[in-house]
Structure 1
């Protein structure tokens, strides 16, 4: 069920809307646990479960975006509900700005859930004859636990929300240069990464931050969307054609909502950023936020993006947004409308995304916001996948991807293999572990492939070929979470094709256990009447795999950060 509210001013005088939530629903008891997805940058969407109590419990964002700290989703569930049993009520807001999700329990033990735009720093002047529509809340009921709720959300958002032509098309294996080079690259280095990546079977070379203006660090040039000829003397067209000649497609990073004080655009239009007159303009990552509530700003950015995307054969765009709002004001809005700025900003972002994705329907757009800081259904409408987190460490990604999967389909989650020691945690994990974690999403790489020796190159080519053979079932199959990284040392999950004839199981153990007891994992989602061949060897009935399960693989028995992948095919 989708709920929203439409306010229509049919009177003769102006109205001020101070609170515009999208839904409210009452329950006649309070015997629930509340589920939410909390975290921070590099630790997004960790699962938090708590009992609801008398009074108010809520999650929210006041930062101008849905945010790293809380995702615009909550669920109420039976006290004994788990992945596979119990009643669960899910609430997911299709919005990318400030939000509030609240549960109130009164003196009679009844519960009320409300969700919508955060009333904090919000008002909307509604003139006579005008209307205001709130964003939708998608409500899902499950009588078979959290897992059934998740699979319902996955189908709804993949089939009924995303507008992209790629929503049900297998996603390419990407090689991104960011952690390989950061800002320190030139044309030859990008060509080298692309050429060697293509030899290993990778399909898309994505050029990340640093290709424009005078962008040699994060302190300049956002808004100057023209090619840095010092790094790319022959321009984007020549680079894209070179990448294509290797048998790959070419993608590009943008951060079109931001402006650097040290940029030609800011020097020409210092009033184009969000700001309050006579107040200090606080920087985040050395940048300010463009005022997307302004039509002139939106038109200027659309022209810059259109010019760049028309200048070369660009097949993929990574759209980033690396800071949240402060000094939230607009130079063009009257005093009585200043508290409309944050919402008008989001509406402006949606308008630009809508226009640019319509102009370039063959481009695969990926959203990013300092990683997963704006991973929400509002963005997924325009862009069918999201950079799940800036944290590429395999151990951390187990929790991040598990939490994300509660609401969002695997096809929306991008996951890359990166170098070790990991750039966010310093942790050293094996190639197998990193690959198996990244394969449970839209698989790719974020490292310098030119540094690999022959054995490492052969290994990666084998893994790339393997992922291509199972990509469809992982990206579009039904996901069943078997063991949670929030509940123990082991994590496991299984992807099952719609016809239940193919499945892929991933098992992970973070820390080694000496003289460990025998482990066994019951599988889910299979057809009990089928017989399944496991890794082209043993044949076991679906009934046995569901009721008895599989023994812990030998690979998990020795050493930290171990993993195993098992492929099942019905005979």
Structure 2
């Protein structure tokens, strides 16, 4: 029996013949007693591995209720060889028939309660072995009365929609077969048994799956890993493959407590980059789309600088052949017609206004109408003899190829070296369709080279902030959270639509990752109007950006915007590093988020309901019950002072009117007795 410990939780496993089973998972000391995963009675018409809380199993040990590893042409079994204790645990298994050696790994991320798990599969045999299933881990949860699953689903412009389902028996699955994380589901699942919540996530940006089985004996087992989608991973003799990291976390504080655990983990993934102050950005896309000119961009930059913006990002349309979405992708040369004095002079002009400079790129894509495609039609993902399909008038480059990888790496290196670019918005606007299934791990090769490029940029250009985007939120996962500074949750920036998207995003991903813009967009799903203040308070809940055509804003709007930008700069450290509590939801009268750091609290609140407040009938203030405060301390907000006990038990009062539909309230611990 072996136990590893996190900040406040522990994870205990034990050898059971040729299996490693989970014994206990929960707060420190949870293993001091009988295991809730042990079962008694006979196993009827199945193998014990089908009912055991097995941590990882080949299909020969768990043939009926879902295994983690399988090979083509035969049933896989193995023997347990050894367990090594280092910064975590490493269990080794061997199969004499195929020559496979599998090493399972467990460790807690430093200072967190997130247990990271993965597997390394080695082929020590004389012949190639094709893996048809390649999971990262199986997480087990005791669910004697059934399991409640919470997850995030959606579509383009409606990502991160919270959903739930309950199973007393059966199977639940989510995933993506698109070669990208996808709009439809986030790689995140929470399992509640009524007493605690257990979360799982996956650090992978290709095709993936999360499958949960609720068995007859009160156990839910969640399999997490890559989806091979009918294309086996073949290991040559002497080669190996490492699975993506699967992450698991326990919380006794419900879904919101689970969210704070994920946020703390993602701050660890950010490392020392978290110490960098997130800059307020302006992005030109919604103002100019493809109509990019030096004159028009500088006019926007003038206004942006006056608002207190710190980084100016030129979006799509800056390179040759890019007058619409039919051409230019792949030809990453600034268009001399759009920048007649030279692109370098244009960048210098932006920077002379006190702004840092950023640029949009989509390195993995190519248009059929481009010099790159004309020179290298073989570089795109395709199946021999099959027609190519376009999405957004573009093809996907096969980044797994060495020549494509070297082209993309060189292009980005040259761009970042030639110009003082401090912000890179990396987009990905189409999933993979055609694929050569005979290729050796097309999905894995593409994703691994993506990671290699991002990791290289971190080392070679450490001052560059990278924003991950994929037609909105189709590339939001733990691997991207570790390799980018911010992530774009959705192309939908309409106020009430975006409120719902951000509410879901924050249930699994940290606010320092959440790029959020103020725009003039109308609602796509909820068309009710909201004020400029509402839009700013909403964007202040993450990393603040502005994407509207600010040259059209009135003087009053610009003055108000400058005030909000200044207020955001006062609280952005709380947003980046503070503990987050979500209060209510966009479907309730109460809708707010609370950030707490040391003795400061920021509350961002919105009226997501009707625009009432005419005071023609009696009414009482909406109360926002805050959390995690010192009940004996006194907190000051402007001229008002409250006890911590009052704020937590009664709540912070807010009152909405037709012209006041959002607020940002900062509280400080007061020295008053």
- Residue 488 of structure 1 deviates from its aligned partner by 2.5
- Greater per-residue strand proportion: 2
Range with greater deviation from structure 2 (209-218 or 27-36): 27-36
The answer for unaligned runs of 5 or more in structure 2 is: 1-114
Candidates 436, 443, 451, aligned match of 1:350: 451
DSSP-derived class of the 1:473 partner: helix
Distance of aligned partners of 1:367 and 1:109 in 2 relative to their CA distance in 1, 3 Å threshold? same
DSSP-derived class of the 1:371 partner: coil
1:98-109 mapped onto 2 (5 Å cutoff): 98-109=207-218
| 8 Å Cα contact 1:410-1:474 kept in structure 2 | yes
DSSP-derived class of the 2:412 partner: helix
| 8 Å Cα contact 1:532-1:540 kept in structure 2 | yes
Question: Which structure's CA Rg is the greater one?
Answer: 2
Q: Aligned equivalents of 1:422 and 1:406: distance in 2?
A: 23
1:532-571 mapped onto 2 (5 Å cutoff): 532-534=635-637, 536-551=638-653, 553-554=654-655, 556-558=656-658, 562-571=661-670
Q: Aligned equivalents of 2:169 and 2:193: distance in 1?
A: 17
1:523 has 2:626 as partner? yes
Candidates 284, 290, 298, aligned match of 1:177: 284
Q: Aligned equivalents of 1:172 and 1:130: distance in 2?
A: 44
Range with greater deviation from structure 2 (210-219 or 417-426): 417-426
Q: Aligned equivalents of 1:170 and 1:306: distance in 2?
A: 24
Q: Aligned equivalents of 1:354 and 1:18: distance in 2?
A: 29
DSSP-derived class of the 1:277 partner: coil
Candidates 473, 491, 494, aligned match of 2:594: 494
- Residue 363 of structure 1 deviates from its aligned partner by 0.4
DSSP-derived class of the 2:499 partner: helix
Candidates 210, 218, 221, aligned match of 1:112: 221
Q: Aligned equivalents of 2:246 and 2:456: distance in 1?
A: 24
1:23 has 2:131 as partner? no
2:237 is aligned to: 128
Q: Aligned equivalents of 1:361 and 1:491: distance in 2?
A: 38
1:73-152 mapped onto 2 (5 Å cutoff): 73-79=188-194, 86-152=195-261
Q: Deviations over 1:399-453 (max 9, x none)?
A: 1111111121100000000015458976532111111111111011001211122
| 8 Å Cα contact 2:493-2:519 kept in structure 1 | yes
1:231-270 mapped onto 2 (5 Å cutoff): 231-270=338-377
DSSP-derived class of the 2:389 partner: coil
Range with greater deviation from structure 2 (503-512 or 133-142): 503-512
Q: Aligned equivalents of 1:537 and 1:188: distance in 2?
A: 47
1:442-481 mapped onto 2 (5 Å cutoff): 442-481=543-582
- Residue 107 of structure 1 deviates from its aligned partner by 3.1
1:217 has 2:318 as partner? no
Q: Which has the higher contact order (CA 8 A, sep 6+)?
A: 1
- Residue 352 of structure 1 deviates from its aligned partner by 1.6
Q: Aligned equivalents of 2:139 and 2:634: distance in 1?
A: 45
Q: Aligned equivalents of 1:242 and 1:530: distance in 2?
A: 50
- Residue 517 of structure 1 deviates from its aligned partner by 4.9
1:3 is aligned to: 117
| 8 Å Cα contact 2:143-2:193 kept in structure 1 | no
Range with greater deviation from structure 2 (403-412 or 542-551): 542-551
1:162 is aligned to: 270
- Greater per-residue helix proportion: 1
Distance of aligned partners of 1:359 and 1:434 in 2 relative to their CA distance in 1, 3 Å threshold? same
| 8 Å Cα contact 2:537-2:604 kept in structure 1 | no
1:395 is aligned to: 496
2:27 is aligned to: none
| 8 Å Cα contact 1:393-1:427 kept in structure 2 | no
Q: Aligned equivalents of 2:235 and 2:265: distance in 1?
A: 33
Q: Deviations over 1:510-546 (max 9, x none)?
A: 3235758533221112222221111x21111111111
Distance of aligned partners of 1:156 and 1:370 in 2 relative to their CA distance in 1, 3 Å threshold? same
TM-score, with structure 1 as normaliser = 0.93
1:35 is aligned to: 150
Q: Aligned equivalents of 1:550 and 1:425: distance in 2?
A: 27
Distance of aligned partners of 1:527 and 1:28 in 2 relative to their CA distance in 1, 3 Å threshold? closer
Distance of aligned partners of 1:457 and 1:385 in 2 relative to their CA distance in 1, 3 Å threshold? same
- Residue 28 of structure 1 deviates from its aligned partner by 4.1
1:366-385 mapped onto 2 (5 Å cutoff): 366-385=467-486
1:70 has 2:185 as partner? yes
Q: Aligned equivalents of 1:181 and 1:355: distance in 2?
A: 32
| 8 Å Cα contact 1:507-1:565 kept in structure 2 | no
- Residue 149 of structure 1 deviates from its aligned partner by 1.4
| 8 Å Cα contact 1:420-1:428 kept in structure 2 | no
DSSP-derived class of the 1:162 partner: helix
- Residue 243 of structure 1 deviates from its aligned partner by 1.1
| 8 Å Cα contact 2:148-2:193 kept in structure 1 | yes
| 8 Å Cα contact 2:496-2:608 kept in structure 1 | no
- Residue 5 of structure 1 deviates from its aligned partner by 0.9
2:309 is aligned to: 202
Distance of aligned partners of 1:147 and 1:221 in 2 relative to their CA distance in 1, 3 Å threshold? same
- Residue 504 of structure 1 deviates from its aligned partner by 2.9
The answer for unaligned runs of 5 or more in structure 1 is: 80-85
